[in-house]
């Protein structure tokens, strides 16, 4: 995510071809990071929603979001 010409957030999307559930592709969203000065402004949600949009374009049958403490 770019704001004010700076990297302000990022996430990792991993696409995995499954063996179960008729071989559907799953998308794993992880390592969602937002720069400190941009937190609590909804940018994390926007980033995750963009990941979901990309997963839908790639026709993923399952989307997983991982989180840390």
pLDDT surpasses 80 at 69: no
pLDDT of 24-49, one tens digit each? 999 999 999 999 999 999 999 999 99
Q: Please write down the HEC assignment for all residues of 35-55.
A: CHHHCCCCHHHHHHHHHHHHH
Q: For the chain, give every domain's residue range.
A: 2-65
- Give every CB contact of residue 10 below 8 A, 6+ residues apart in sequence: 1, 31, 32, 33, 47
Q: What is the CATH number of domain 2-65?
A: 3.40.630.30
Res. 68 pLDDT band, cuts 50 70 90: confident
Please give the average per-residue pLDDT across 38-61, as a whole number. 95
**Cα dihedral sign, 36-39-43-45:** positive
């Amino acid at each position: 995510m770019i704001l004010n010409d700076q990297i302000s957030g990022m996430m990792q999307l991993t696409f995995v071809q499954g063996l179960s559930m008729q071989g559907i592709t799953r998308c794993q969203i992880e390592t969602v990071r937002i720069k400190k000065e941009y937190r609590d402004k909804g940018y994390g949600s926007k980033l995750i929603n963009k990941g979901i949009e990309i997963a839908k374009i790639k026709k993923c049958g399952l989307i997983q979001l991982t989180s840390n403490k």
